[in-house]
C-alpha cells in the first residue's frame, strides 16, 4: 500500500543537479592544462559550498529521494551522454569504466562495513581473486565470458568463506587482523606462485559476449568509429546499476534491517533473537561476490594484471572510498569513487603524491566530518515518504 505522500517533490532540482555535474565532469575531463584543472577544482568546490549555502543541495536531495524512478534513469543517461562526448577518447573512457568498476567493488564493501558492520581490509585481495579467476578461466577454458564474470564473484565469495570462521569468532580489532593478514598473504602468494605468473603477472583476454568482441572498435559508419572502451563502459555501467539496485533492495528489505540491528548492537540484537552470525555471513559473502565480479570485469578490461595491483595500500583506498562517501550510502560512494579515481589522473602534478594526499584527506575527514561527504540518510521505504 502506497502511503499518502502529499505533493510529490519537483523533478527539476535533481535533473538540473545531474546535468550540472555531467557538464562539469565533461569539461573537467576535456581540459588538459594543469592551471585549467586547478581553476575548475576550486570553482567546483565553491559551487558546492554556495549551493549548500542557498539550500539548492537540500532541494536536490528531496528531489532525489522523492523521484527515485526518474533519477535512476537520469543518472545512467548522463553517463551515456558523457560516453557520446568522448566516444573516440580511449583514455577518458578507460577512466570512466574504472570509476564504475571501483564503484561496484565499493558497493560490496558497503554491504560489509556499512550494513552488517563486518570489517574487511582485504578488498583489494578479493578484487584480485576476481581478476585472477578471469585470467585463468579465459586462458584455459572456453567458458562464456558472462559466466566468467559470475565465476569471479563466486570464487571471491568462496575464498572469503575460508575466512568466515575466524572472522565470526573474533571481535573488533581481533577480526581486523585476519583480513589484513589475508591481504598480505594473498599478495605474497601471488608473487611466489609461478603458475599464476609470479611477480610479472598474467595476460587476460578481452571480454567477448556471444561473438561481440569488446576489444574491437565499434564502426558505426564508414567514418565514425567508437573507441572499444565504450564496450567496457557499457558493461561496467550495467554491472554498477545491478549492484546499485541490489544494494537498495537489500537496504529496504527485512534483511537490511536485520543487518543494521546486528551492526548497531550485537548484544541487544542477540537478546531479541537475531541470528548474528547468519547476517554477518550473508553480508561478507554477498560483499565479496560483488567485489569479485567487479574484479573479473576489471581484469578483462585491463588485459594485464600483476600482484602489485592488489596490495594492502589498494585495500585501504577502497576503504577510504567507502568512508569518504559516507558509510552505507551508495550515492556517497558514487561521488567518492569519482573523486578518488579521477582526481589523481587529471592532476598529473599530484600523481606522485596521491597516496599521501588520500591519506591526509581521510585523516581530515575523520577528524572534522566523521560521517563522510554524504552521510547515510534514514531508511525511506517508499520514494518521497516523509515522517509526519
CB contact at 8 A, 289 and 336 = no
Binding window for another protein (CB under 8 A); candidates: 1-9, 96-104, 172-180, 331-339:
172-180
Q: Where does the chain have alpha helices with state H?
A: 12-30, 34-53, 56-66, 68-85, 90-110, 123-140, 145-169, 172-192, 229-252, 254-264, 266-271, 276-302, 312-325, 330-346, 348-351, 354-368
In whole angstroms, how close is the CB of 162 to another protein at the nearest point?
9
Is the alpha carbon torsion for 23, 78, 86, 334 positive or negative? positive
CB contact at 8 A, 190 and 307 = yes
- Single out the residue of 1, 35, 195, 367 in contact with another protein (rule: CB under 8 A): 367
Using CB under 8 A as the binding rule, whether residue 273 contacts another protein is answered as no
Q: What is the DSSP string of 147-184?
A: HHHHHHHHHHHHHHHHHHHHHHH--HHHHHHHHHHHHH
Using CB under 8 A as the binding rule, whether residue 165 contacts another protein is answered as yes
Using CB under 8 A as the binding rule, whether residue 177 contacts another protein is answered as yes
Buried b (16+ CB within 10 A) or exposed e, 260-292: bbbbeeeeebeeeebebeebbbbbbbbbbbbbb
Using CB under 8 A as the binding rule, whether residue 272 contacts another protein is answered as no
Binding window for another protein (CB under 8 A); candidates: 40-48, 49-57, 70-78, 177-185:
177-185
Residues 361, 350: Cα–Cα separation, whole Å: 13
Using CB under 8 A as the binding rule, whether residue 312 contacts another protein is answered as yes
Nearest to 13 by CA among 48, 69, 58: 58
- Single out the residue of 64, 229, 289, 358 in contact with another protein (rule: CB under 8 A): 358
Binding window for another protein (CB under 8 A); candidates: 49-57, 65-73, 76-84, 312-320:
312-320
User: Of residues 320-349, which lie at the interface with another protein (CB under 8 A)?
Assistant: 320, 323
Using CB under 8 A as the binding rule, whether residue 284 contacts another protein is answered as no
Using CB under 8 A as the binding rule, whether residue 269 contacts another protein is answered as no
Using CB under 8 A as the binding rule, whether residue 158 contacts another protein is answered as no
In whole angstroms, how close is the CB of 21 to another protein at the nearest point?
27
- Single out the residue of 39, 45, 245, 356 in contact with another protein (rule: CB under 8 A): 356
- Single out the residue of 22, 105, 111, 178 in contact with another protein (rule: CB under 8 A): 178
Question: How many Cβ atoms from other residues are within 10 Å of residue 324's Cβ?
Answer: 25
* CA dihedral of 277, 278, 282, 288, whole degrees rounded to 10: 30
Using CB under 8 A as the binding rule, whether residue 166 contacts another protein is answered as yes
In whole angstroms, how close is the CB of 250 to another protein at the nearest point?
21
Using CB under 8 A as the binding rule, whether residue 189 contacts another protein is answered as yes
CB contact at 8 A, 199 and 187 = no
In whole angstroms, how close is the CB of 171 to another protein at the nearest point?
7
Quick one: 191 exposed, middle or buried, by C-beta within 10 A (0-12, 13-18, 19+)? Answer: middle
Using CB under 8 A as the binding rule, whether residue 319 contacts another protein is answered as yes
Using CB under 8 A as the binding rule, whether residue 306 contacts another protein is answered as no
Cβ distance to another protein smaller for residue 46 or 264: 264
C-alpha cell at 252: 529496504
Chain residues in the site for another protein (CB under 8 A)? 113, 119, 163, 165-166, 169-174, 176-178, 180-182, 184-185, 188-189, 191-192, 267-268, 312-313, 316, 319-320, 323, 352-353, 355-356, 358-360, 362-363, 366-367, 370
Amino acid at each position: 500500500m502506497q502511503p499518502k505522500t502529499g505533493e510529490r517533490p519537483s523533478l527539476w532540482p535533481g535533473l538540473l543537479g545531474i546535468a550540472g555535474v555531467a557538464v562539469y565532469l565533461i569539461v573537467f575531463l576535456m581540459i588538459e592544462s594543469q592551471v585549467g584543472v586547478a581553476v575548475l577544482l576550486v570553482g567546483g568546490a565553491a559551487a558546492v559550498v554556495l549551493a549548500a549555502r542557498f539550500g539548492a543541495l537540500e532541494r536536490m536531495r528531496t528531489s532525489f529521494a522523492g523521484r527515485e524512478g526518474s533519477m535512476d534513469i537520469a543518472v545512467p543517461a548522463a553517463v551515456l551522454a558523457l560516453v557520446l562526448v568522448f566516444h573516440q577518447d580511449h583514455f577518458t573512457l578507460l577512466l570512466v569504466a574504472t570509476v564504475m568498476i571501483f564503484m561496484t567493488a565499493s558497493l560490496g564493501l558497503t554491504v560489509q562495513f556499512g550494513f552488517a558492520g563486518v570489517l574487511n581490509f582485504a578488498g583489494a585481495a578479493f578484487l584480485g581473486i576476481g581478476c585472477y579467476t578471469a585470467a585463468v578461466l579465459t586462458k584455459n577454458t572456453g567458458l562464456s565470458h558472462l559466466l566468467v564474470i559470475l565465476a569471479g564473484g563466486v570464487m571471491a565469495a568462496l575464498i572469503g568463506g575460508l575466512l568466515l570462521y575466524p572472522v565470526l569468532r573474533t571481535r573488533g580489532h581481533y577480526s581486523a587482523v585476519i583480513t589484513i593478514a589475508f591481504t598480505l598473504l594473498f599478495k605474497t602468494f601471488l608473487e611466489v606462485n609461478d603458475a599464476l605468473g609470479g611477480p610479472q603477472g598474467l595476460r587476460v583476454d578481452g571480454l567477448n559476449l556471444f561473438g561481440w568482441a569488446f576489444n574491437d572498435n565499434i564502426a558505426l559508419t564508414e567514418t565514425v568509429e567508437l573507441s572499444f572502451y565504450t564496450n567496457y563502459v557499457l558493461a561496467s555501467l550495467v554491472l554498477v546499476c545491478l549492484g546499485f539496485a541490489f544494494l537498495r533492495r537489500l537496504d529496504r528489505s527485512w534483511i537490511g534491517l536485520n543487518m543494521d540491528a546486528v551492526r548497531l548492537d550485537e548484544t541487544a540484537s542477540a537478546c531479541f533473537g537475531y541470528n548474528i552470525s547468519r547476517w554477518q555471513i550473508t553480508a561478507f559473502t554477498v560483499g565479496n561476490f560483488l567485489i569479485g565480479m567487479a574484479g573479473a570485469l576489471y581484469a578483462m578490461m585491463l588485459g594485464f594484471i600483476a600482484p602489485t595491483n592488489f596490495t594492502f595500500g589498494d585495500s585501504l583506498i577502497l576503504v577510504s572510498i567507502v568512508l569518504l562517501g559516507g558509510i552505507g550510502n551508495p550515492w556517497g560512494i558514487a561521488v567518492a569513487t569519482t573523486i578518488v579515481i579521477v582526481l589523481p589522473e587529471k592532476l598529473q602534478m599530484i600523481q606522485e603524491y596521491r597516496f599521501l594526499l588520500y591519506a591526509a584527506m581521510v585523516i581530515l575527514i575523520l577528524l572534522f566530518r566523521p560521517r563522510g561527504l554524504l552521510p547515510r540518510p534514514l531508511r525511506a521505504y517508499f520514494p518521497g515518504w516523509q515522517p509526519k
